[in-house]
Amino acid sequence: MVDAGAKCPKQRFMDFLAGKHLRLTSQRRTIIDTAFGTRRHFTAEQLLAWAHRRDKSVSRATVYRTLPLLTESGLVREMDFGKDYKFYDPNYAEHPHHNHIICQDCDKIVEFESEQLKQLENQISQRLGFSVQAHRLQITAHCEEFKQRGSCKKKGE
């Protein structure tokens, strides 16, 4: 028997769909291939545009119905950065303990891990009588390019 942890996130999601008795349509397969084929964080509209490039039949409704399933599966994380839209993190399944710096000017998202932060969260949790199960750190900032030039080439990407 194959260990579920050894399967790629895409296969784990397809197994999740099968467990819920949901069909794997060609549109849904394109959305899954697109979502797990990038390391970039994306919005629903970006996912729709990228998937639509692969298959013109992919509909907005199917993207918006599939995103809650992706997050329910635990393989993609929905992130709220205080915008009018959510971002989705396709790297969550393989790296659940990473953090984010988000540029308020261009929406650039940079992932990072820090052993010092991990040690600090463990120290604080232990001191207060808790055991860390998960954490979420989001730092909001202005990128240096915007600060230096007054604009950023990442804006609108």
Q: Is the dihedral of CA 113, 111, 88, 16 positive or negative?
A: negative
Report the predicted TM-score, pTM, of the whole model to 2 decimal places. 0.74
d(CA 97, CA 105): 25
HEC states along 7-75? CCHHHHHHHHHHHCCCCCCHHHHHHHHHHCCCCCCECHHHHHHHHHHHCCCCCHHHHHHHHHHHHHCCC
- Any idea what the CATH number is for the domain that residue 51 is in? 1.10.10.10
- Among 33, 67, 91, identify where a domain stops: 91
- DSSP 8-class letter at 150: S
Domains of the chain: total: 2
Range of the domain at 30: 1-91
Task: Print pLDDT tens along the chain (157 aa).
Answer: 444 556 788 899 999 999 999 999 999 999 999 999 998 899 999 999 999 999 999 999 999 999 999 999 988 989 887 788 899 988 776 676 788 888 887 778 888 888 888 889 899 999 999 988 777 788 888 888 777 777 776 654 4
